[in-house]
Amino acid sequence: MKYAFIFVYLVFIFTSCSGPSSQHADTGHHGEDIAVKTQLHYPQEKHLANIRQLTFGGDNAEAYFSFNDEMFVFQSNNPAWSLKCDQIFYTNIANANMGEEIPPMVSTGMGRTTCSYFMPGDSTIVYASTHMNDANCPPVPERREDGKYVWPIYRGYNIFVADLMGNIIDTLTNRMGYDAEATVSPMGDKIVFTSDRSGDLELYTMNIDGSDVKQITFELGYDGGAFFSADGTKLVFRSSRPKTPEEIKEYKDLLAEGLVMPTNMEIYVCDADGSNLKQVTHLGKANWAPYFTPSGDRIIFSSNHHSERGWQFNLFSIGVDGEGLEQITYDDTFDAFPMFSFDGKKLIFSSNRNNNGTHDTNIFIADWID
């Protein structure tokens, strides 16, 4: 899935949990040489200290802490691990040695997976996979003649719970459609996820056992990559919401093909039941992969709004009131998928920094400095 021009793995997902897993953002480097990058930390990154690289090769993203902050779960397509498309892995942070060892795989090794998250108790993990529909990796959309950048919304994604040995112990959704991007409330009682069961891509909540499914967003557009606040009362997510007749037609036409165009997204917050919906950012371009900061009054997210050509993604933070925008990271290509540890002391994220001139996206952990 490498092209003559550089692509950066978003894995949003959007299926941010931030976007469909193993998706790419066109970086706009078309044909340019790639500088050899060996920098772990940039002087301007005053909120980060003691940065440590945790993965070494391939595309690694959507790394999320266990409730006890001792482990993290993530998705990878590292070819050195004999992977054809994204699968789910976890590791202990203190003893992580993924430059030399393959960590335990939690998913089945079949189909494509995305958006994994620890369940309460840290002995099970929830994730989405297409394996029940097809054991093969689903195809990646070919580059379109119109040049528009799109993500696939794979029908056949369902949400599963597995133990740390990789045994599926529960199937939370079981339908032919898109159910993915599941994350768990810090309270341990609710899951939020994205589904197309209404005919559009909306947010839903359910109990931790898959019961009591409720739709909580209702406006046309792709709502996804949602995360709960620390007290479980609020949600933050990213959305691409078409407004003009032309935008609406384009969105509906692409969705009918199982595609979305994620180049125009903003950050929203709402209560956990979907009430008190508010748009936080009005920056233009792609703003996604949001997460509440430890204080709870700010949001950290990835954005390319500052990039003239649109290929540079960095982490920014902003108040939930939409004020006080601040740039957090300064890599010249890609920083995304931030998550804070439950104690608020660490930040884990994905970046193209220190990749020695390759296209690799790796996972990094840092101390968070307010």
Q: Determine the 3-state secondary structure of 176 from DSSP.
A: coil
d(CA 112, CA 157): 8
* Residue 208, domain member (yes or no): yes
Which residue's entry shows tokens 């490498």?
Answer: 2
* Residue 318, domain member (yes or no): yes
| Residue 18 half-sphere exposure toward CB, CA atoms < 13 A | 31
**φ, ψ for residue 215 (rounded to 5)?**
-80, 135
d(CA 280, CA 55): 32
Low-confidence spans in the chain with pLDDT less than 70: 1-35
Q: Cβ(261)–Cβ(14) under 8 Å?
A: no
Count: domains in the chain: 1
User: What is the structure's pLDDT at 13?
Assistant: 37
User: What is the structure's pLDDT at 148?
Assistant: 84
User: What is the structure's pLDDT at 35?
Assistant: 61
d(CA 309, CA 362): 23
Q: Cβ(259)–Cβ(152) under 8 Å?
A: yes
**φ, ψ for residue 278 (rounded to 5)?**
-145, 135
Q: Which helix (H) or strand (E) holds 156?
A: none
Can you give the pTM of this predicted structure? 0.92
Q: What is the CATH number of the domain that holds 171?
A: 2.120.10.30
User: What is the structure's pLDDT at 18?
Assistant: 58
| Residue 258 half-sphere exposure toward CB, CA atoms < 13 A | 14
DSSP state of 360: -
* Residue 2, domain member (yes or no): no
* Residue 44, domain member (yes or no): yes
Q: Determine the 3-state secondary structure of 251 from DSSP.
A: helix
* Residue 243, domain member (yes or no): yes
User: What is the structure's pLDDT at 341?
Assistant: 98
* Residue 1, domain member (yes or no): no
Question: For residue 144, how far is the Cα from the chain centroid?
Answer: 24
Q: Is 115 left (phi over 0), alpha (psi -120 to 50) or beta?
A: left
* Residue 308, domain member (yes or no): yes
Q: Cβ(40)–Cβ(56) under 8 Å?
A: no
Tokens of 134: 């097809």
Q: Among 151, 347, 96, 117, which residue's Cα sits nearest to residue 228?
A: 117
Domain enclosing residue 28, as ranges:
7-368
Q: One-letter amino acid identity for 179?
A: D
Report CA-CA distances (Å) from 204 to 60, 160, 209, 227, 267.
26, 16, 14, 12, 17
* Residue 84, domain member (yes or no): yes
What's the pLDDT tens digit per position in 227-265? 999 999 999 999 999 999 999 999 999 999 999 999 999
